[in-house]
């Protein structure tokens, strides 16, 4: 049985940086390095905090403990109470006070402990954080980032495996992104923090310990760009073609990107050439990239962990049909969680999109 205990002792997955307490290590990092996704987010947070001392972290147990996933490991030690704030146990309070701090120029980065615990903050996120810029006619920017370890596959108890991204994407004013690789995690967390807009940053928790190469120079160069105009919002909003193919397009994001790539591999053995698109951003949805691919392949499957019904795949499917209808050989198919609450852990691998279910959908669209 998979458990939460699989994590290593520190998030960085590398020897702790030798920096004097209170004195953040100035980042002369070798490029590229192998990092876990959790380590990449940790490094990205550190880089953002070094870049701008208005950046601060808020959340439950993110201080001495380093967060239940250790993503903030070491940051409290190096940046202190004032910038790594263990908060009272109240999610609405965290988001609400972050809004107030952002109004004074701070860039709060909130950690919600688990996906299922974001809902007490739903009102603050939906009616305040999302709408303040509009309400104020642009006078108030709220560069708040809300990090949410999300999705399942870790054998957890209720409320610890949910995928609520579509519940936020319907609300204008929020940006919703989800990285699928350590490189994107490292880059996108910094772009999210630099963005003047509120960003919901969904971290696929089952992928926290996957390793990958991280080149730290790219995002640094982009954010250093003298113009000051490059906040990274645009970069993190673009989908990525994770694998080129010509027969069918499989669209995924966050936790399901690896699955889509696996499916492409298996399909290739069967002679089907799958293009995989990693959306990266759910709001805005980079439908241009997907539609371009759909026009090429004529077949699209979208895969996410959230329940299919009223999920983000519905929006994607609608847009592809609207914009590429006459290029399609088959309807866009969706592979997602079922229309039930997230079930007990023994069922989760039946509940979640699996390699077989993705391949089944690929076969179905290929049948036309």
Partner 1 sequence: MSAGGPLSTDGLVQLLTADGQRTAHEQFDPYADHLTADDLRAMWRDMTLVRAFDKEATSLQRQGELGLWVQSWGQEGAQIGSGHALNGQDFVFPSYREHGVALTRGVDLVEVLRIFRGLQHGAWTPAEHHFHLYTLVIGSHALHATGYAMAMAKDGLVASGDPAKDGAVVAYFGDGATSQGDVAEALTFASVYDAPVVFFVQNNQYAISESATRQSRVPIADRGKGVGIPSVRVDGNDVIASHAVTRWALEHARSGQGPVLIEAFTYRMGAHTTSDDPTRYRPKAEEQLWAERDPIARLEAYLTSTGELSDDFRTEVEAEAKALGERTRTTVRAWTKPDTLGMFDHVYAEPHASVEAERAWFDRYQRSFADQEATR
Ligand X SMILES: Cc1ncc(C[n+]2csc(CCOP(=O)(O)OP(=O)(O)O)c2C)c(N)n1
Return the active site residues: 160
C-alpha closest to that of 146 among 168, 161, 162: 168
Least spacing, CB of residue 119 vs ligand X, in Å: 8
**Burial (CB count within 10 angstroms: exposed 0-12, middle 13-18, buried 19+), residue 270:** exposed
293 versus 312: smaller Cβ distance to a second copy:
312
Least spacing, CB of residue 160 vs ligand X, in Å: 9
List, in order, residues 6 or more apart from 70 with CB less than 8 Å away.
Answer: 7, 8, 9, 10, 11, 38, 42
8 A C-beta contact, residue 102 and residue 143: yes
8 A C-beta contact, residue 222 and residue 119: no
Least spacing, CB of residue 76 vs partner 1, in Å: 10
Length of the chain in terms of residues written: 368
8 A C-beta contact, residue 46 and residue 53: no
68 is an interface residue for a second copy by CB under 8 A: no
User: Applying CB under 8 A, which of residues 156, 263, 267, 335 lies at the interface with partner 1?
Assistant: 156
> What gap in Å lies between CA 78 and CA 76, rounded to an integer?
5
Distances (CA, A) of 78 to 46, 112, 113, 254, 357: 9, 21, 21, 29, 46
Using CB distances below 5 to 8 A depending on partner kind, what does residue 155 bind out of ligand X, a second copy, partner 1, none? partner 1
138 is an interface residue for partner 1 by CB under 8 A: yes
> What gap in Å lies between CA 112 and CA 145, rounded to an integer?
11
The window from 79-87, 113-121, 229-237, 357-365 that contacts ligand X (CB under 6 A) reads 113-121
> What gap in Å lies between CA 60 and CA 43, rounded to an integer?
20
The window from 200-208, 252-260, 261-269, 336-344 that contacts partner 1 (CB under 8 A) reads 336-344
4 is an interface residue for ligand X by CB under 6 A: no
311 is an interface residue for a second copy by CB under 8 A: yes
Reduced to 3 states (helix: H, G, I; strand: E, B; else coil), residue 183 is helix
325 is an interface residue for a second copy by CB under 8 A: yes
214 versus 335: smaller Cβ distance to partner 1:
335
Reduced to 3 states (helix: H, G, I; strand: E, B; else coil), residue 306 is strand
User: Applying CB under 6 A, which of residues 27, 89, 221, 234 lies at the interface with ligand X?
Assistant: 89
2 is an interface residue for partner 1 by CB under 8 A: yes
Using CB distances below 5 to 8 A depending on partner kind, what does residue 322 bind out of a second copy, ligand X, partner 1, none? a second copy
The window from 4-12, 114-122, 208-216, 256-264 that contacts a second copy (CB under 8 A) reads 114-122
C-alpha closest to that of 241 among 290, 206, 296: 290
Least spacing, CB of residue 112 vs ligand X, in Å: 8
Of residues 347-366, which lie at the interface with ligand X (CB under 6 A)? none
36 is an interface residue for partner 1 by CB under 8 A: no
119 is an interface residue for a second copy by CB under 8 A: yes
CA 35, 38, 44: angle at the middle one, nearest 5?
80
117 is an interface residue for ligand X by CB under 6 A: yes
Number of residues interacting with partner 1: please give it, by CB under 8 A: 89
Fill in the DSSP letter of residue 129: I
Using CB distances below 5 to 8 A depending on partner kind, what does residue 333 bind out of partner 1, a second copy, ligand X, none? a second copy
C-alpha closest to that of 325 among 295, 285, 287, 301: 295
147 versus 240: smaller Cβ distance to ligand X:
147
The window from 253-261, 262-270, 324-332, 349-357 that contacts partner 1 (CB under 8 A) reads 349-357
User: Applying CB under 8 A, which of residues 18, 20, 28, 64 lies at the interface with partner 1?
Assistant: 64
**Burial (CB count within 10 angstroms: exposed 0-12, middle 13-18, buried 19+), residue 363:** middle
181 is an interface residue for ligand X by CB under 6 A: no
Going 156 to 46 to 242 to 173, the CA torsion angle's sign is positive
157 versus 225: smaller Cβ distance to ligand X:
157
Least spacing, CB of residue 171 vs ligand X, in Å: 16
Residues of this chain that bind ligand X (CB under 6 A): 60, 89, 91, 113, 117, 120
């Amino acid at each position: 049985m998979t458990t939460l205990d699989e994590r290593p002792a520190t998030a960085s997955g590398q020897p702790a940086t030798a920096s004097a307490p209170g004195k953040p290590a100035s980042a002369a990092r070798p490029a590229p390095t192998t990092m876990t996704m959790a380590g990449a987010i940790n490094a990205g947070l550190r880089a953002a905090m070094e870049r701008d001392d208005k950046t601060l972290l808020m959340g439950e147990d993110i201080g001495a403990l380093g967060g239940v996933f250790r993503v903030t490991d070491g940051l409290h030690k190096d940046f202190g109470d004032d910038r790594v704030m263990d908060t009272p146990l109240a999610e609405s309070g965290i988001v609400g006070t972050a809004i107030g701090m952002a109004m004074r120029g701070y860039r709060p980065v909130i950690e919600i402990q688990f996906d299922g615990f974001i809902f007490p903050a739903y009102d603050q996120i939906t009616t305040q954080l999302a709408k303040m810029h509009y309400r104020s006619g642009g006078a108030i920017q709220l560069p708040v980032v809300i990090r949410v370890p999300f999705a399942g596959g870790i054998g957890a108890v209720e409320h610890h495996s949910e995928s609520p991204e579509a519940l936020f994407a319907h609300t204008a004013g929020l940006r919703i992104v989800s990285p699928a690789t350590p490189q994107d995690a490292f880059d996108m967390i910094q772009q999210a923090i630099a963005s003047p807009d509120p960003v919901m940053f969904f971290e696929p928790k089952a992928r926290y310990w996957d390793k990958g190469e991280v080149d730290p120079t790219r995002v640094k160069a982009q954010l250093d760009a003298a113009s000051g105009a490059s906040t990274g919002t645009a970069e993190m909003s673009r989908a990525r073609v994770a694998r080129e193919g010509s027969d069918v397009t499989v669209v995924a994001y966050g936790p399901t990107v690896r699955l889509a790539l696996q499916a492409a591999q298996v399909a290739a053995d069967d002679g089907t050439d799958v293009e995989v698109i990693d959306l990266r951003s759910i709001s805005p949805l980079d439908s241009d990239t997907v539609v371009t691919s759909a026009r090429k392949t004529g077949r699209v499957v979208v895969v996410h962990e959230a329940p299919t019904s009223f999920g983000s795949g519905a929006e994607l499917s609608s847009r592809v049909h609207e914009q590429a209808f006459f290029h399609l050989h088959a309807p866009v198919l969706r592979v997602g969680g079922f229309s039930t609450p997230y079930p007990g852990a023994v069922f989760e691998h039946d509940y979640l999109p699996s390699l077989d279910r993705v391949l089944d959908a690929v076969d179905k669209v290929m049948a036309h």
